[in-house]
Amino acid sequence: MRVARQPRYQQIARLIADKIARNELKVGEKIYARSTLATTFGVSPETARKAISVLSDLGIVDPVHGSGVIVVSRQKAQEHLEQYQEVETIQDLQEQILESVVRQQSELANFSTILDKLVDQTEHFQKANPLTPIEFELVEQSPKLGKTLGEMNLWQNTGATIVAILQKEELIVSPGPYATINQGDTLYFVGASNTLQIIQNFFYTK
């Protein structure tokens, strides 16, 4: 579907210009009278008159009073068709852009729906399984590393209860307040749904 439909009289003017450009109607030749043109294309005489007026304004034909309509320029007919094709190309691009926007909006809406479901299911899972440990690996440097859990006041600052620490190849279960946290360690903890974000901010936000 076009962005904007071309008026009927302009469509007829283009069809006549196409015949002239292809030399089916030659320069100097008289073309249909308006009444014949109206009958040929199944339009009103007024619509046919407008089509001839368009071609006349473009210098393609010359309505001569009492003699009918004479073809005067094949070149201008060709130029008119070239301009029309450029307009059609622009309209095609507009249509493609609009279709792309509609598809993207639909995809974004679908993505948003899926994301909402994922968040809901994640929250439901965490509520249903509050003791399932969350894993957090300390891969970057942090000024808090090298301190014990007690020195950090980790539980007081984050609400996370550390249930295990993986240090190199050793898994320390139920570490006490004197367990030291180092870079490369993996913490296993339980807490609220937002505790992971709080832990990340605690270690990596100055």
Average the pLDDT over 14-43 and give the result: 86
Between 5-9, 18-22, 163-167, 172-176, the lowest mean confidence (pLDDT) is in 5-9
Q: Which of 85, 30, 84, 103 is nearest to 62 (CA)?
A: 30
Mean pLDDT of the chain: 84
Token representation of residue 143: 């000024």
What is the C-alpha R_g of the chain? Answer: 39
pTM (two decimals) = 0.41
Token representation of residue 9: 């009289």
**Rounded-to-integer distance, Cα 23 and Cα 17, Å:** 10
pLDDT at position 198 is 93
Amino acid letter, residue 112: S
Between 42-46, 84-88, 105-109, the lowest mean confidence (pLDDT) is in 84-88
Q: Which of 130, 136, 138 is nearest to 190 (CA)?
A: 130
What is the phi/psi pair of residue 52, to 5°? -65, -35
pLDDT at position 178 is 92
Q: How many CB atoms lie within 10 A of CB 91?
A: 15
**Rounded-to-integer distance, Cα 125 and Cα 118, Å:** 10
DSSP string, 34-83: HHHHHHHHT--HHHHHHHHHHHHHTTSEEEETTTEEEE--HHHHHHHHHH
Residue 149 banded pLDDT, cuts 50, 70, 90: very high
**Rounded-to-integer distance, Cα 54 and Cα 33, Å:** 15
To the nearest 10°, report the CA torsion of 55, 57, 59, 61.
40
**Rounded-to-integer distance, Cα 75 and Cα 87, Å:** 19
Q: Convert the pLDDT of each residue in 189-205 to its tens digit.
A: 988 878 899 999 999 87
